[in-house]
Amino acid sequence: SLTPPPCYSAPVAPHVGKKVVLLTGGAGFIGSHTAQALLRRGDDVVVIDDFNDYYDPAIKRSNVELLKAQAAMSGGMNAPELTVYAGSITDTKLMASIFADHAVSHVCHLAARAGVRPSIDDPLLYVDTNITGTTVLLELARKHGVANFVYASSSSVYGGSKSAYFSEDEDVSNPVSQYAATKKTCELLAHTYSHLYQLPTTGLRFFTVFGERGRPDMAPLMFINKISKGEGIRQFGDGSSSRDYTYVSDIVDGVVRSLDRAYKNEVFNLGKGSGTSLIDFIGTVEKYTGKKANKTILPDQPGDVPYTCASTDKARALLGYSATVSFDEGIRKTVAWYNDANGISSMNELNTKVKVERPARK
């Protein structure tokens, strides 16, 4: 069992009995992977998602189909129940009725307007979804006495930081985008609800997440898509900027560990713990797609941070979390999924076919 160092807090008493997890944003990228993991182990899952068109909602609908299949597969004595609501977390009446109709034991709050640049164009939408939406959920969670409230924060809260490794105890009062400011505000609100009502809250600062069914607006999938199709990509800056890219199964592992181990009020970095430069990132995508990138180099964008790298010491000590999938392996798996979803044979398959079809030399 985990013995946290004395400088860290101890977990609160664990929940007894079956978990009923209200999973907001469960039709999205990280949400649908999390839902699969929870259903697989037998938790009841109540999804709320507004299926908005920030990216193609058909992707979110097809994610829900996967969840239905997962729930149907996870049968037996302790069969998990999956319920899906289409609606907004800012709809107080709908949310109150969901809490009234389900014995929600845990909240896993992943719904948000995500993305740094769009938040600069439409700050009110971000404030409404991310701040008002989170407050609606915190209010209901404390009224219904849920055992644990876990929510997605973001590495973007470190925006103005000058250190090489971001650790949870550093000053994050310098957000450099509206998106980052909304995520920092969620952390403040969670603190308030924990303080006033003893609601256990845990914020998870995710570091650029990628993998199967990833967000099409984010660099990993955007680059895989464009490089595969031979379309041009835009490289902002000289390519030396580096990010801590985290493969989605590692993030899901951290989310599930957090749900199972409630703290009074904590935030954790969930990252890989090492950075990959943009140049190496593009090189890895080229390696697995078998295509050369056609790059246009542009200046850095406002709101972008030059590097992100998680210190994962705290998550390791308190949650037993550690990322296990390397960047190379994550990109390999993501490209394989992308090829499968788009009917593209992998380079290895093509090579094998060529070998088989080549006439034998005399």
Active site positions, annotated: 179
CB of 49 to ligand NAD, least distance (A): 4
Burial, 319: exposed, middle or buried (Cβ in 10 Å; 0-12, 13-18, 19+)?
buried
Host H or E run for residue 263 = none
Report if residue 154 touches ligand NAD, rule: CB under 6 A. yes
Dihedral of the alpha carbons of 163, 166, 170, 173, in degrees to the nearest 10:
90
Q: Which is nearer to ligand NAD, 79 or 120 (CB)?
A: 120
Q: Which is nearer to ligand NAD, 277 or 346 (CB)?
A: 277
Among 38, 48, 64, 310, binds ligand NAD (CB under 6 A): 48
* Cα–Cα–Cα angle for 266, 201, 250, rounded to 5 degrees: 70
Host H or E run for residue 10 = none
Report if residue 28 touches ligand NAD, rule: CB under 6 A. yes
Report if residue 186 touches ligand NAD, rule: CB under 6 A. no
Report if residue 114 touches ligand NAD, rule: CB under 6 A. yes
Q: Which position's Cβ is nearest ligand NAD? A: 28
Report if residue 131 touches ligand NAD, rule: CB under 6 A. no
Three-class secondary structure assignment of 308-346: CCECCHHHHHHHCCCCCCCHHHHHHHHHHHHHHHCCCCC
Among 11, 80, 133, 200, binds ligand NAD (CB under 6 A): 133
Write the interaction track for ligand NAD spanning residues 257-296; mark x where CB under 6 A is met and - where it is not.
Answer: ----------------------------------------
Distance, in Å, from the CA atom of 300 to the CA atom of 107, rounded to the nearest integer, reads 37
Report if residue 49 touches ligand NAD, rule: CB under 6 A. yes
- How many residues make contact with ligand NAD (CB under 6 A)? 30
Among 22, 23, 31, 178, binds ligand NAD (CB under 6 A): 31
Structure tokens at 141: 């969670």
Report if residue 315 touches ligand NAD, rule: CB under 6 A. no
Report if residue 30 touches ligand NAD, rule: CB under 6 A. yes
Cα–Cα nearest to 145, from 303, 329, 15: 15
- According to CB under 6 A, which residues from 66 to 105 bind ligand NAD? 88-90
Q: Which is nearer to ligand NAD, 218 or 344 (CB)?
A: 218
Report whether 31 contacts 89 (CB < 8 A).
Answer: no
Report if residue 254 touches ligand NAD, rule: CB under 6 A. no
* Helices 133-143, 178-197: inter-axial angle, 10-degree rounding: 10
Query: For the chain, what is the largest distance between any 2 Cα atoms, rounded to a whole number of angstroms?
Result: 84
Distance, in Å, from the CA atom of 327 to the CA atom of 313, rounded to the nearest integer, reads 19
CB of 299 to ligand NAD, least distance (A): 23
- Location of structure tokens 């800012």: 90
Report whether 233 contacts 296 (CB < 8 A).
Answer: yes
Residues in the site for ligand NAD, rule: CB under 6 A?
24-25, 27-31, 48-52, 54, 60, 88-90, 110-114, 129, 133, 152, 154, 206, 208-209, 215
